[in-house]
Amino acid sequence: MNTGNTVLYIYGEQVGLTGTDMLSTNVDMEVHTVDWYNGGLGDSVTGLIVTPLGEQYFGQPSDVPGNTNDPNGLAVFDFGPFPGNSPELGLILLTNGDRGGGAGGGATQDTEALLFIAP
- pLDDT of res. 40: 84
Q: Residue 44's beta-bridge partner residues?
A: 32
* Cβ atoms within 10 Å of 54's Cβ, excluding its own: 19
- pLDDT of res. 1: 39
- Per-residue pLDDT reduced to its tens digit, 57-103: 998 887 777 677 777 778 889 999 999 999 999 998 887 776 677 66
